[in-house]
Amino acid sequence: MNSGQFTLSSTRYMELIDITPQVEKALSKANIKEGICYLFNPHTTAALTINEGADPTVRTDIIKAIKKIIPFDLNYQHLEGNSPSHVLSSFIGCSEIIFIKNTRPQLGTWQKIYFCEFDGPRTRKVHWRVTS
């Protein structure tokens, strides 16, 4: 299998969820020794990113900074009221590429892969695809 998807649930309005274990599982299924893994978030109020995994305060600091950077009170026209979440989705981006080495993600020492929830809590999906 060279493509698939996994599901996850967020529990807060905005949070970074470590999906490295799910990506490792996908790579294990794909069983490709060397290549590229592509991750794609099909939602418009969420994103994917790679950042530090050692200290959990980095994740909460990122959310704290994001809430400061994005204007929440701006006479937005979109009636659903979640325009800041859409803005963040475009700023952080909806895909990631990861190199595969020995059937595992070739990340830096401190890196983990995160699903960025910007309009939770919700059930979300991540699509993956690998090529050798």
CB of 73 to a second copy, least distance (A): 10
Residue 99 contacts a second copy per CB under 8 A: yes
At a CB cut-off of 8 Å and minimum separation 6, what does 19 contact? 6, 8, 113, 114, 115, 126
User: Using the rule CB under 8 A, which residue among 21, 31, 106, 121 binds a second copy?
Assistant: 106
**Residue with structure tokens 């919700």?**
122
**Segment interacting with a second copy, rule: CB under 8 A, options 7-15, 23-31, 62-70:** 62-70
The DSSP call for residue 3 is: E
Interatomic CA distance for residues 115 and 125, integer angstroms: 9
Site for a second copy in 8-37 (CB under 8 A): 34, 36
User: Using the rule CB under 8 A, which residue among 15, 96, 117, 119 binds a second copy?
Assistant: 96
Residue 103 contacts a second copy per CB under 8 A: no
User: CA nearest 22: which of 111, 126, 129?
Assistant: 126
At a CB cut-off of 8 Å and minimum separation 6, what does 123 contact? 7, 8, 9
Residue 3 contacts a second copy per CB under 8 A: yes
CB of 108 to a second copy, least distance (A): 3
CB of 102 to a second copy, least distance (A): 13
User: CA nearest 13: which of 96, 81, 93?
Assistant: 81
User: Using the rule CB under 8 A, which residue among 9, 12, 80, 121 binds a second copy?
Assistant: 80
Residues contacting a second copy: total by CB under 8 A: 57
